[in-house]
Amino acid sequence: MRLSVLFVIALLFAPAAFADAELYFISPQDGDTVSGTFEVRFGLKGMGVAPAGVDSPNTGHHHLLIDVETLPPMDAPLPKSGQILHFGGGQTETTLSLPPGRHTLQLILGNYAHIPFDPPVMSKKITITVTE
């Protein structure tokens, strides 16, 4: 019962995003062909970036989804896995290594507790081709 009450309270106070916030990829772009190891740069307009654990208004940190077909729940902390990478240090770029083939990438902005904003601040899903 207590857990249910806490869950309802968390939903009522879900982090709100600015209506004009935009999350996007600076690089690579949709349709790009990249080598097996490549740089990914994140872009954000209308909000700021802060490390996980820092509860500062209108800020969040990046999560990179790799080859994720179904989005995780948007009302709970994003799970950490090989397909959902957390950038809780406030990083805005990374070097990624993927096997050859087609892959999808998508960004989601989470608050200080890794919970997506409401409405979610996320990029369009892009498709890239990785060469050997």
> Would you state the pLDDT for residue 132?
81
- Give the total number of structural domains in the chain: 1
Q: Concatenate the DSSP letters of all residues of the chain into one string.
A: -HHHHHHHHHHHTPPB--TT-EEEEEESPTT-EE-SEEEEEEEEESSEE--TT---TTEEEEEEEES-SSPPPTTSPPPPSSSEEEETT---EEEEE--SEEEEEEEEEE-TTSPBPBS--BPPPEEEEE--
Tokens, residue 119: 């409405």
Q: What are phi and psi of 79, to 5 degrees?
A: -70, 150
- What CATH number does residue 81 fall under? 2.60.40.10
How close are the terminal C-alpha atoms of the chain, in Å? 53
Distances (CA, A) of 66 to 14, 32, 48, 112: 25, 15, 23, 21
- Read off the pLDDT of residues 4-59 as tens digits, 9 standing for 90 and up: 433 443 444 445 556 689 999 999 999 999 999 999 999 999 999 999 999 999 99
- Read off the pLDDT of residues 65-108 as tens digits, 9 standing for 90 and up: 999 999 999 999 999 999 999 999 999 999 999 999 999 999 99
The gap from C-alpha 71 to its chain's centroid, in whole angstroms, comes to: 11
pTM comes to 0.85
Range of the domain at 110: 2-130
Tokens, residue 55: 């509860």
> Would you state the pLDDT for residue 15?
53
